Amino acid sequence: MYVCLCEGVTDGQIREAIYEGCCSYRDIRASLGVASQCGKCACLAKHVVRETLSEVQASQGALAYPESFVAA
Ligand code: FES
């Protein structure tokens, strides 16, 4: 789905940029150019960034505590 029509940026591109190392809305804006023209996409872009960062953090948390981990 297109998030930013002015720059032609999709939610998939935003997610991919986060998986490749971007870690904030500011990073995404700098690397993909979202919200750099009319700005109407800013709210949705922030939502996609927040959602994806939460997914990444959840998956990293899963790696930090494998199934065999038992809290003492
Ligand atoms: S829709 Fe993203 S800057 Fe216009």
Does the beta carbon of 9 lie inside 6 Å of ligand 1?
Answer: no
What is the pTM (predicted TM-score) of this model? 0.83
Q: What is the C-alpha separation between 3 and 19, in angstroms, rounded?
A: 17
Does the beta carbon of 35 lie inside 6 Å of ligand 1?
Answer: yes
Tell how many helices (H) and how many strands (E) occur in the chain: 3, 2
Domain range for residue 23?
2-63
* Residue 8 structure tokens: 């032609």
Inform me whether the pLDDT recorded for 16 exceeds 90.
Answer: yes
Q: What is the C-alpha separation between 22 and 3, in angstroms, rounded?
A: 17
* pLDDT at 59 (0 to 100): 86
* pLDDT at 67 (0 to 100): 59
Task: Give the up-direction half-sphere exposure of residue 13: CA atoms within 13 A in the CB hemisphere.
Answer: 17
Task: Give the up-direction half-sphere exposure of residue 70: CA atoms within 13 A in the CB hemisphere.
Answer: 2
Count of domains observed in the chain? 1
Residue 54 maps to a domain: yes
CATH of the domain at 32: 1.10.10.1100
Residue 68 maps to a domain: no
